[in-house]
Amino acid sequence: MGGDDVDVVSPDADHAAAGLTGPGAPDMAGGSSAAAGSGQPPVPGVTRDLGAVLRFVERFSALLCQVGFPRMPARVFAALLVTDSGSLTAAELADMLRVSPAAISGAIRYLIQIGLANREREQGSRRDLYRVPDDVWYEVVRVREQVTARWVPTLQAGIEALGAGTPAAQRLAETADFFEFLRKQGPELLAKWTEHRASMQGRE
């Protein structure tokens, strides 16, 4: 295109069908055009292929689905990840993913429950914004460890019911030992991540 090194795909066709163009459509460079007045400006000097961004959303959400993630929460989470602000309204998510507001509501409720999204009120508005938490994977691991730690007493009760030393009880015992290992090692691992993250941010 005019000697440019990088081809820019026109958004008029599949991008419009995916809700990526038009009034109020999500702006992959920084939140959404509708939310531009609330601290979500585009990134200066950055031009993105919106089709490539949308394909990433679908591919990443498909990977999440392969490990048991429900499809709609996976798509919503991926959509939030690709905004520089990390936040969108329910209407913007619905427009982007071409789904109903009810589907977005259910997906957001699921994401909030497992710690992959937060709800906050847009300043000067009655609209809610949905945001990916800061250091989201840290929070996911931390919450997971809290949950699995609560499984250990139940597993121990199962071992007693089955009879210690039996093959079934040994299987439960190994499971309990694994979760107990994670509980003990997890804080040290998370502390190392916090230290590593701080050192990486200091280099930017």
* pLDDT tens column, 139-152: 888 888 888 888 99
CA triple 25-26-28, angle to 5 deg = 140
pLDDT at residue 201 in the model: 85
Phi, psi of 164 (to 5 degrees): -55, 135
**Residue-level pLDDT at 62:** 96
Predicted local distance difference test score (pLDDT) of residue 115: 86
Could you give the percent of the chain with pLDDT greater than 70?
78
Question: What mean pLDDT do residues 109-134 have?
Answer: 88
Confidence at residue 141, expressed as pLDDT on a 0 to 100 scale: 85
Q: Encode pLDDT of 57-82 as tens digits.
A: 999 999 999 989 999 999 999 999 99
Q: Tell me, yes or no, if the pTM score tops 0.85.
A: no
Exposed / middle / buried, residue 97 (Cβ in 10 Å: 0-12, 13-18, 19+): buried
pLDDT higher than threshold 90 for residue 86: no
pLDDT in tens, 96-120: 999 999 999 999 999 998 889 999 9
What is the model's pLDDT at position 1? 43
Question: What are 22-60's pLDDT values in tens digits?
Answer: 444 444 444 433 333 223 456 777 788 888 999 999 999
What confidence score (pLDDT) does residue 42 get? Answer: 61
Per residue in 151-166, pLDDT (tens digit) is: 999 999 999 999 988 9
Instruction: Give the per-residue pLDDT at 49.
Output: 87
**pLDDT of the residue at 146:** 83
Given a cut of 90, whether residue 200 has pLDDT beyond it is no
pLDDT of residue 40: 43
Q: What is the pLDDT of residue 22?
A: 40
Q: What angle do CA 149, 143, 89 make, to 5 degrees?
A: 155
